[in-house]
Amino acid sequence: MIPTPCCQRMADDLNRTCALHDDRSDCPDSFVAEMNGGYGLMIHDGGSSAVKIGFCPWCGASLPSMVC
């Protein structure tokens, strides 16, 4: 189940599509990715890695933790 975004900035980022990058993990304008029911901050190192975050980078809301 996809968690409900805590704020509009989060929702906008999750729904962002880019004309240049088919994959959001390739786009430097994308910050947050859904990860196993939680959220991660994408690391743009050429791969698709992301670091789990416990709080929203925009509004500071506590985010649901991942189910591993």
Query: Are the C-beta atoms of 13 and 50 separated by less than 8 Å?
Result: no
Minimum distance of Zn ion from residue 3's CB (angstroms): 11
Which residues does 15 contact at the CB level (< 8 Å), separation at least 6?
A: none
Query: Are the C-beta atoms of 13 and 30 separated by less than 8 Å?
Result: yes
By CB under 5 A, the residues from 8 to 67 that bind Zn ion are 10, 18, 20-21, 27, 56, 58-59, 61
How many chain residues touch Zn ion (CB under 5 A)? 11
Enumerate binding residues for Zn ion (CB under 5 A).
6-7, 10, 18, 20-21, 27, 56, 58-59, 61
